[in-house]
């Protein structure tokens, strides 16, 4: 390995989060590099399905020096529109990005700061830095259950991040596992394409798209919920650990109502707990999960009603969701062969993967211990984690605010160290 290169700050990951920190450091004249295993903001083009739209309204799209200024602030950009919008942002500044460079190891440097091992087409190189910002995304390792390997090999299996469209899957029925935002929208996509969908419904909550004349996310913003730090959020830690509410921005935005899909022929089940060959077993949780999602939906409507009353806003009348379908019993089994299911889309989420970082900055579950991105390890910070500071931290809405904070911490400590050098301590 060649001699070690040095740069004061290394940002690992050139998604919107890492680049937001870079934007502020560039403005402050701080020398830094942004390292990415692939290319800037590639997740939006590489890991979203063809009919993807944002779930958050376009007005949430704000990055340093750049906000959505298109014709439809209350609409939902498609995947390709998001990619175009981000390309517009990248043109507004010159980030010092090194593409196709994966960081395979970060450890304390005996001389102070960190030593990074970089892997690229040029082989392995070492780089040292005083500050390292981890911006590798909140969705690093797709989860599939251990029993996926025991299923009949003739059944095609993909993770939601690999899903593009119905044509990519073999002919036949499809099982979608999970009803977080991705699972629910992928099930809808396949259902609209005319596929027979079987859906394992998890305990994710749901939210109305529009209520009393406005997008629910716009009401929640007016109610100040997106400015609340995680520890002050109603429901506390439990609320932030929950799967995101399912809803869609497709075709201008609408609810996702799994009961309606079931009434139209989608086959729905509770949590998938085991599988071997072509036989799957589900927990008897379907009724409970559908009821739970609807009760969260209605409780958010009730919170908005209370706000409207308090604030004296003139709005159309209140409503509640009434179920359009209910299961007779909770199904607990499915024979994939008998039902003609030829593929499975796993949409049960992601887990963190920081095994390459050798630093005492993680809890027992491998999650970073941080306050607004700053860890107890001198010089090590994170950006872009879901709920890192507020609801929007892992999204477009909150990343600018978080990046300002992380960059300000680096800038002030950088100036302190320069000052110390200047005065000779």
Interacting residue with ligand FAD among 12, 127, 197, 377 (CB under 6 A): 12
- Beta carbon of residue 91, minimum distance to ligand FAD (angstroms, whole number): 18
Residue with tokens 């040095």: 6
- What is 348-392 written as a DSSP string? S-EE---TTEESS-B-TTS-B-EETTEESSTTEEE-S-TTSSSGG
256 makes contact with ligand FAD (CB under 6 A):
no
Which one of the spans 40-48, 87-95, 260-268, 302-310 is the region binding ligand FAD (CB under 6 A)? 40-48
Query: Exposed, middle or buried, 399 (CB in 10 Å: 0-12/13-18/19+)?
Result: buried
By CB under 6 A, residue 58 contacts ligand FAD = no
Residue 411 binds ligand FAD (CB under 6 A): no
Scan residues 362-401 and list those touching ligand FAD (CB under 6 A): 384, 394-397
Residue nearest to ligand FAD (CB): 15
Q: How many CB atoms lie within 10 A of CB 144?
A: 14
CA distance to 105, 116, 127, per residue, from 130 (Å): 15, 11, 10
Do residues 202 and 243 make contact, with C-beta atoms less than 8 angstroms apart?
yes
Using the rule CB under 6 A, is 15 a contact of ligand FAD? yes
Contact, 205 vs 297, CB < 8 A? Answer: yes
Binding-site member from 10, 14, 388, 403 for ligand FAD (CB under 6 A): 14
CA distance 140 to 142: 7
Measured from the CB atom, the residue of 120 and 417 that comes closer to ligand FAD is 120
Spatial distance between the Cα atoms of 168 and 236, rounded to a whole number of angstroms: 41
- HSE toward the beta carbon, residue 61, CA cutoff 13 A: 26
37 touches ligand FAD (CB under 6 A): yes
The CA distance from 373 to 360, in Å, is 15
Interface map 164-203 toward ligand FAD (x if CB under 6 A):
------------------x---------------------
Q: Decide if residue 221 touches ligand FAD (CB under 6 A).
A: no
Taking CB under 6 A as the binding criterion, the range among 55-63, 195-203, 272-280, 327-335 that sits at the site for ligand FAD is 55-63
Given the rule CB under 6 A, which residues bind ligand FAD?
Answer: 12-18, 35-38, 42-43, 48, 54-56, 60, 102-103, 135-139, 182, 384, 394-397
């Amino acid at each position: 390995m060649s001699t070690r290169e040095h740069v004061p700050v290394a940002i690992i990951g050139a998604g919107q989060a890492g680049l937001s920190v870079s934007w502020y450091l560039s403005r402050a004249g701080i020398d830094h590099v942004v390292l990415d295993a692939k290319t800037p903001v590639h997740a939006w083009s590489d890991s979203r399905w063809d009919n993807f739209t944002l779930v958050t309204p376009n007005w949430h799209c704000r990055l340093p020096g750049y906000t959505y200024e298109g014709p439809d602030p209350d609409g939902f950009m498609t995947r390709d529109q998001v990619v175009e919008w981000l390309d517009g942002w990248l043109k507004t500044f010159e980030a010092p990005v090194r593409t196709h460079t994966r960081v395979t190891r970060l450890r304390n440097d005996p001389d102070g700061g960190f030593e990074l091992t970089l892997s690229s087409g040029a082989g392995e190189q070492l780089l040292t830095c005083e500050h390292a910002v981890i911006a590798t995304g909140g969705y690093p390792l797709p989860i599939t259950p251990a029993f996926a390997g025991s299923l009949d090999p003739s059944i095609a299996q993909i993770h939601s991040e690999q899903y593009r469209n119905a044509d990519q899957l073999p002919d036949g029925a499809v099982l979608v596992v999970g009803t977080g935002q991705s699972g629910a929208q992928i099930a809808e996509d396949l259902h609209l394409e005319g596929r027979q969908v079987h859906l394992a419904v998890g305990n994710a909550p749901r939210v109305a798209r529009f209520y009393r004349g406005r997008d629910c996310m716009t009401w929640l913003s007016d109610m100040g919920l997106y400015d609340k730090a995680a520890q002050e959020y109603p429901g506390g830690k439990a609320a932030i650990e929950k799967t995101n509410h399912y809803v869609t921005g497709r075709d201008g935005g609408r609810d996702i109502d799994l009961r309606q899909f079931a009434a139209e022929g989608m086959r729905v089940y509770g949590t998938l707990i085991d599988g071997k060959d072509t036989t799957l077993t589900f927990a008897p949780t379907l009724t409970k999960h559908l009821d739970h999602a609807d009760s969260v939906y209605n409780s958010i409507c009730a919170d908005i009603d209370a706000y409207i009353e308090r604030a004296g806003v003139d709005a159309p009348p209140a409503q509640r969701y009434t179920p359009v379908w209910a299961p007779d019993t909770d199904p607990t089994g499915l024979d994939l062969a008998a039902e003609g299911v030829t593929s499975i889309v796993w949409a049960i989420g992601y887990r963190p993967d920081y095994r390459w970082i050798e630093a005492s900055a993680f809890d027992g579950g491998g999650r970073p211990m941080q306050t607004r991105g700053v860890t107890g390890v001198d010089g090590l910070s994170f950006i872009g984690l879901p709920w890192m500071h507020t609801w929007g931290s892992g999204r477009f809405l909150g990343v600018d605010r978080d990046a300002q904070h992380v960059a300000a911490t680096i800038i002030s400590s950088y100036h302190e160290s320069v000052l110390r050098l200047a005065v000779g301590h």
